[in-house]
Amino acid sequence: GAVVSQHPSRVICKSGTSVKIECRSLDFQATTMFWYRQFPKQSLMLMATSNEGSKATYEQGVEKDKFLINHASLTLSTLTVTSAHPEDSSFYICSARRVDRLTDTQYFGPGTRLTVL
Amino acid sequence: QKEVEQNSGPLSVPEGAIASLNCTYSDRGSQSFFWYRQYSGKSPELIMFIYSNGDKEDGRFTAQLNKASQYVSLLIRDSQPSDSATYLCAVARQAGTALIFGKGTTLSVSS
C-alpha cells in the first residue's frame, strides 16, 4: 500500500499554545488530503478536506480559524491547532487520496496524539 | 438513520473460523466502499475496497457488495488472533470524496 507519514506522532502542550501537524504522502502525489479526529472509543470524524493550492473545505461545526489547514504541495498538508485547549486533546489522523489507473483510494497516516494540559 | 451502520460487537470467533462483518449505508448514490482495520491506538489500515456488486477476494478476505440492499460485508477466513481489531466500514458517494465511516465492529479471535 501507499505510504503516508505524520509528524509528530505524539505531542503534549500547554493550554493556549499552537500545534502544527504535518501529513506527507511519501511515494505518491496527493491533490486531496483529509483530516480526521478520533476521540476514545469513537469513530473517525472528518474535520476538513484539504486540496492542493486551494482553501480547505471544513465540515460543519469545525472552526476554520482554530484548525488552520495548508496544502502547499502535492505531498504535504499541515494542520495547525491554534490556541489549543484540553478539549482539543484527541487523535488526529490524516489521509491522502491516491489515484491510479484502476483505483481511487485513501491511505491513512499513523496519526498524531495531541494532549493539551 | 445513520449514514453508515455497523454492529459494534464484540464479535467473538474461535481461531480458524470465518468472521463475518456487516455494514449498511443509507446513501443509495454511494459509489465506493472500503474496509479498514484499526488496532487500538493506531490509525486505520486499508484492507479492501470494492466498487461493483458481487464478491471481491484478496487472500483470506472477501468483500461483498449488494447495492440494491445497500449492504456491504467482509468475510475473514481462517481467522487468527492477530485479526483481533476494530473493523471500520467506509463509504464514499463519489470517488475521491471524503469517506463516511461507521463506528466499527470489534472482532475478537480466541486461540
The partner residues of A33 in beta bridges, in order of sequence, read A50, A96
> Cβ contact (<8 Å) for B88 and A44?
yes
- Alpha-carbon distance A75 to B97, whole Å? 18
Pick the closest to residue B13 from B60, B68, B67, B72 (CA basis).
Answer: B60
Residue A11 pLDDT > 70:
yes
The C-alpha of B14 sits at a distance from chain A's nearest C-alpha, in angstroms, of: 24
Closest chain B C-alpha to A111 CA, distance in angstroms? 6
Average pLDDT over residues A42-46: 88
More confident residue, A12 or A54: A12
pLDDT score recorded for residue B59: 96
- Using a CB-CB cut-off of 8 Å, the residues of chain A touching B98 are 34, 46, 49
Q: Rg (Cα) of chain A, in Å, rounded?
A: 14
CB-side exposure of A31: number of CA atoms within 13 Å?
6
More confident residue, A14 or A104: A14
Asked if A43's CB is within 8 angstroms of B42's CB, the reply is no
Pick B99's closest partner by Cβ from A91, A106, A111.
A106
Contact of B93 with chain A, judged by CB distance below 8 Å, is answered with no
- Return contacts of B38-41, CB within 8 angstroms, 24+ apart: B38/B85, B38/B86, B38/B87, B38/B88, B38/B104, B39/B85, B39/B86, B40/B85, B40/B86
Say if CB B53 and CB B66 are below 8 A apart: yes
Residue B46 at interface with chain A, using a CB cutoff of 8 Å: yes
CB-CB under 8 Å, B46 with A32: no
Q: CA of A109: which chain B residue's CA is closest?
A: B43
A1: pLDDT strictly greater than 80: no
pLDDT in tens, A53-85: 888 999 999 999 999 999 989 999 999 999 999
Q: Give CA–CA dist B25/B2, Å, rounded.
A: 8
Q: Which three cell numbers stand for residue A16?
A: 493556549
Model confidence at A50: pLDDT above 70: yes
Q: What is the pLDDT of residue A8?
A: 97
pLDDT, one tens digit for every residue, chain B (111 residues): 569 999 988 999 999 999 999 999 999 999 999 999 999 989 999 999 999 999 999 999 999 999 999 999 999 999 999 999 999 999 998 777 788 899 999 999 999
- Taking one residue from A and the other from B, the number of pairs with CB-CB distance under 8 angstroms is 46
Q: What mean pLDDT is reported for chain A?
A: 93
A109 CB neighbours in chain B (<8 A) are 43
Say whether residue B61 is in contact with chain A using an 8 A CB cutoff. no
